[in-house]
A and B are shown apart, each in its own frame.
Chain A
Amino acid sequence: VSAPVSLACARARAGLQARLDADPAQRVDAAEIETHLAGCMDCRALARELQEVQDALRAAPVLHFPDAALEEVWERTVRARQITRLRRGVAVWGGLAGRGDPGRGSACGTPRAAGPAGTFRGGGAAGGGGGPVRVSA
């Protein structure tokens, strides 16, 4: 392999890689490769070895992501978000009830100030009831 290769070998080897890749963007002259391989023992061995490397790699298993690890992902993402939104909702309701201020309770500015825009909507136009309305992200 370390010996210098002829131009014909170099062309054939480039073709071998392209054939392994099955890359439509790379034109491979299959007949030219086969002709060369028939007469070149080194390239024939290389072709076989590269194919075996590819076959072995493709036979590698896709590992199963542990269920417990997936649960942790849900805890840190979807469930954490649900809890945050619930807390915000409770805080908003608590704040409104504690103030006993009907004027503020009907405003939609308070919930928006507590979280990112779009997380909650005040009841005015959208909900009609004056309480926080949960909307999907």
Chain B
Amino acid sequence: MDVGEYQRAVLEHKDRVYSFAVHLLRDSEEGRDVAQEAMVRLFTHRDAVVPEAARAWLLRTAHRLCLDRLRQRVARPQAEPEMLDEIAAEHGRPDREAVGRQLGVKIEAALASLSPRDRSLLLLREVHGMPYEEMADTLSVPLGTLKAALHRARERCRQALLGAGVQP
């Protein structure tokens, strides 16, 4: 893609890439860094990416960068509930409740209890509405494996809600 196509791709997909990274990392600042890095890398590799593949390319790169950060984070305690506050503050919206309500605090907590892999699957499919083929490409897994993994992730998310004593 040329520079103009790159700019259009970034403008079109930036919010989804950012949302995906924030929800996967559960940290708005790190999510922003990851989204930025993915976009910069896309510029570097733009000659090898057609515009139609930009979304999958960005999300795949963001996914890998997120996994790297999650591995590095093992020893570091995670600030869980602050994420919604940070997001609300960043966007100049003091109504944390509104943000939390939209995301669904219960679901947010359930997602947090899942593995990064399960979280990625559910975010890509349910939050971002990504088609299976694109998901398989993004996560570099065969289609059949992906579908089975998604079913298990959905079930684990449901069980996480029930395990916390919350009726979904």
Contacts and interface: CB of A to CB of B under 8 A. Distances in A.
Interface of A: 1, 14, 17, 20-21, 23, 25-26, 46, 49-50, 52-54, 56-66, 69-70, 72-74, 76-78, 81, 136-137
Given A53-B157, A54-B126, A64-B91, A21 B168 contact: no
B82 interface: no
B72 interface: no
B158 interface: yes
Interface string B32-53: 1001100110010001000000
B90 interface: yes
Interface of B: 2-3, 6-7, 10, 14-19, 22-23, 28, 32, 35-36, 39-40, 43, 47, 87, 90-91, 99, 102-104, 106-107, 110, 122-123, 125-129, 132, 147, 150-151, 154-155, 157-159, 161-162, 167-168
Nearest to B102: A61
B17 A65 contact: yes
Contacts of B14: 65, 70, 73
